Amino acid sequence: MDLESYFNIHKGKLDLLSGGAPCQAFSYAGKRLGLEDARGTLFYHYAVFLHKLQPKSFLFENVRGLLTHDRGRTYKTIFDIFTAEGYKVQAEIMNAWDYGVAQKRERLIMVGVRKDLTDRLWVEMPQPHDYKPVLRDVLIDVPKSEGTQYSEQKRKIFELVPPGGYWRDIPEDIAKEYMKSCWNMDGGRTGILRRLSLDEPSLAVLTSPSQKQTDRCHPLEARPFTVRENARCQCFPDDWEFSGSVGQQYKQVGNAVPVNLAFEIAKKIYEGLERM
Conformation bin of residue 141: beta by default, left when phi > 0, alpha when psi is -120 to 50? left
233 is catalytic: no
Q: Which of 23, 217, 233, 235 is catalytic?
A: 23
CB atoms within 10 A of CB 91: 18
Q: What are phi and psi of 54, to 5 degrees?
A: 45, 55
CA angle 119, 262, 70 (to 5 degrees): 85
Q: How far apart are CA 245 and CA 232, in angstroms?
A: 19
Q: How far apart are CA 272 and CA 275, in angstroms?
A: 5
Q: How far apart are CA 21 and CA 98, in angstroms?
A: 24
Q: Catalytic residues, which ones?
A: 23
